[in-house]
Amino acid sequence: MNRLLQLIAALAFALLMIVSRLLTNRACQTRGKEMVAAGTTSGFIPLWVSATYMLGLLGLVVTLIWSFFSIGWWGPLYVLVLYLLSGFVHSRVNDINMLIRLNKRGR
């Protein structure tokens, strides 16, 4: 169980990142037109959602280092796979930023 603790923690942090991306996508769905009209995404996505994502990312980095020292050289591979799997939840902020750039070019 001691060797699995860091992998369980990594899974929890990856889920935290996924939940915060889903909350970000929800904010983009509800206020996307306002973001494009304002020309920025700053201030439209709640600060605590961004902080939650950063906490998840920092937690994954810590568990990556922790698994290297407690499991061995192959331990961080599990954490990297979790990070890559969390990337399948696409963030809509990039789409909104692209629309903002296209809107500025069209002016």
How does pLDDT run across 55-83, given as a tens digit for each residue?
999 999 999 999 988 888 888 898 899 88
Q: What is the DSSP letter of 70?
A: H
Is residue 2 pLDDT above 80, yes or no?
Answer: no
Q: Contact at 8 Å (CB) between 78 and 10?
A: yes
Q: What integer pLDDT is reported at residue 1 of this predicted model?
A: 66
| List of E strands, the chain | none
Answer for the pair 3, 71: CB distance below 8 angstroms, yes or no: yes
pTM score: 0.84
Q: Is the pLDDT of residue 104 over 70?
A: yes
Q: How far is CA 71 from CA 4, 57, 80, 83, in A?
A: 9, 20, 14, 18
